[in-house]
Amino acid sequence: MTLPPEFTRRGLLAATGAAGLLAASGLRPAVAQTAPRWAVGPDARRIRVGGFEVLTLLDGATVRDNPAGIFGTDQPPEAVAALLAQNFLPADRALFVFTPTVVRAGAETVLFDTGLGAGARGGGMGRTAGLLAANGIAPDSVTTVVLTHFHGDHIGCMAEGGAPAFPNARIVTSRIEYDFWTHPDRLSGRTENTARAVQANVVPQAERISFIEPGQTVVPGIEAVAAHGHTPGHLAFHLESEGQRFMITADACNHYVLSLQRPDWHVVFDMDKEAAARTRKSLFGMLAADRVPFIGFHFPSIGFVEPLGEGFRFVPATYQFDV
Ligand SMILES: [Zn+2]
């Protein structure tokens, strides 16, 4: 999804909260974290995928009104409300979480997307840097930052106080995405806010970017997968280690009911709505057929999908990775 407009108007707000905890960890307390306003699961979830360690981080969460104005915008609002009710969810409000993921693969520490950053910190979001430290990962130890796409909730923590937040990391992203958002035409109209965030957070670090194409690997066992539609260069990532698989689906699907059970429904955040629908059907069709676990950036947890009607049903992970 794009950076919600209320965040872009916020100034830089002082972070408060778990500074003592971070100091006690002995790590550089680069960024303290405020408490999240909504509890939607643990701050961090760690699983193993073969020889990889996968750590999902709750950068934050926020509530938006009127989900029918975001998902199923080509449908009658009553159809959206009915599907939400059928799934025990309210029709008037929806919770969005933001979930960067870290993969430790041998000597590599790979961060997939960075969360909202300092501008959202006063609202209990932008917690990724603090959570990395709390989980023993110093910012300068991150070897690679993968940007699945350039929306503000994914690039917001690329810079901290005007300096690169992950100064030693190679940055891996799509050339299509970079070229799209850095084109001068993007600096006005609907793309202006994101384009300005790209100019502030990504462009100054461009010399560290390695462009990647679908089918190429970030590090051995982590492969980029074409998933455009949400944005022109949006990528998902497939992990495979010791015969086990996992997928980082990023923003291919942004609501675990509305966009998964009805993958064809238009989503206001998807720049090419038909391509995004095709991506959802192919990507989640594969995950369902092969029973591969995944994390979506805006999903409430790691989970699985199974076929259901014209789409898929989300099955949250419980203890299967822990026993
Ligand atoms: Zn997003």
Model confidence pLDDT, tens digit, residues 189-199 = 999 999 999 99
Residue 210: predicted pLDDT:
98
Tokens 């720049």: give the residue: 271
Q: What is the reported pTM?
A: 0.90
Q: Is residue 177 situated within a structural domain?
A: yes
If you average pLDDT over residues 61-69, what whole number do you get?
95
In CATH, what number is assigned to the domain containing residue 231?
3.60.15.10
- Expressed in angstroms and rounded, the spacing between residue 23 Cα and the centre of ligand 1 is 30
Residue 122: predicted pLDDT:
76
Tokens 């002082």: give the residue: 14
Q: Is residue 310 situated within a structural domain?
A: no
Q: Is residue 290 situated within a structural domain?
A: no
What SS3 state is found at 86?
Answer: helix
Q: Out of 32-41, 103-112, 284-293, pick the least confident.
A: 32-41
Q: Is residue 265 situated within a structural domain?
A: no
In the chain, % of residues over pLDDT 70: 88
Which protein residues have a CB closer than 5 Å to ligand 1 (ion)? 1, 151, 153, 251
- Expressed in angstroms and rounded, the spacing between residue 278 Cα and the centre of ligand 1 is 18
- Expressed in angstroms and rounded, the spacing between residue 31 Cα and the centre of ligand 1 is 22
Check if the beta carbon of residue 215 is closer than 8 Å to that of residue 223. Answer: yes
Query: CA–CA separation, 76 vs 149, rounded Å?
Result: 30
- Expressed in angstroms and rounded, the spacing between residue 193 Cα and the centre of ligand 1 is 14
Ramachandran region, residue 2 (left: φ > 0; alpha: ψ -120 to 50; beta: rest): beta
- Residues 234-279: tens digit of each pLDDT: 999 999 999 999 999 999 999 999 999 999 999 999 999 999 999 9
Q: Is residue 294 situated within a structural domain?
A: no
Q: Is residue 300 situated within a structural domain?
A: no
DSSP string, 165-185: SSTT-EEEE-HHHHHHHHSGG
For residue 151, pLDDT beyond 70: yes
Structural domain containing residue 47: 5-65+76-237
Taking CA atoms, 178 is separated from 148, 211, 217, 218, 288, in Å, by 11, 9, 18, 17, 31
Query: CA–CA separation, 315 vs 153, rounded Å?
Result: 25
- Expressed in angstroms and rounded, the spacing between residue 246 Cα and the centre of ligand 1 is 19
What percent helix, strand, coil does the chain show, rounded to 5? 30, 25, 45
- Expressed in angstroms and rounded, the spacing between residue 98 Cα and the centre of ligand 1 is 7
For residue 27, pLDDT beyond 60: no
Residue 61: predicted pLDDT:
92
Planar angle of CA 232, 202, 147, nearest 5 degrees:
50
Cβ neighbors of 306 (< 8 A, separation 6 or more) are 288, 312, 313, 315
Tokens 């100019």: give the residue: 199
Q: Is residue 228 situated within a structural domain?
A: yes
- Expressed in angstroms and rounded, the spacing between residue 153 Cα and the centre of ligand 1 is 5
- Count of structural domains within the chain: 1
- 142-162 exposure pattern, b = at least 16 Cβ within 10 A, e = fewer: bbbbbbbbbbbbbbbbbbbee
How confident is residue 28, by pLDDT bands cut at 50, 70 and 90? very low
For residue 1, pLDDT beyond 70: no
Q: Is residue 191 situated within a structural domain?
A: yes
How confident is residue 42, by pLDDT bands cut at 50, 70 and 90? confident
- Expressed in angstroms and rounded, the spacing between residue 323 Cα and the centre of ligand 1 is 31
Residue 208 buriedness (CB in 10 A; 0-12 / 13-18 / 19+): middle
For residue 29, pLDDT beyond 90: no
For residue 213, pLDDT beyond 50: yes
- Residues 171-212: tens digit of each pLDDT: 999 999 999 999 999 999 999 999 999 999 999 999 999 999
How confident is residue 33, by pLDDT bands cut at 50, 70 and 90? low
**β-strand partners of 110:** 103, 144
- Expressed in angstroms and rounded, the spacing between residue 155 Cα and the centre of ligand 1 is 10
- Expressed in angstroms and rounded, the spacing between residue 20 Cα and the centre of ligand 1 is 30
Residue 30: predicted pLDDT:
52
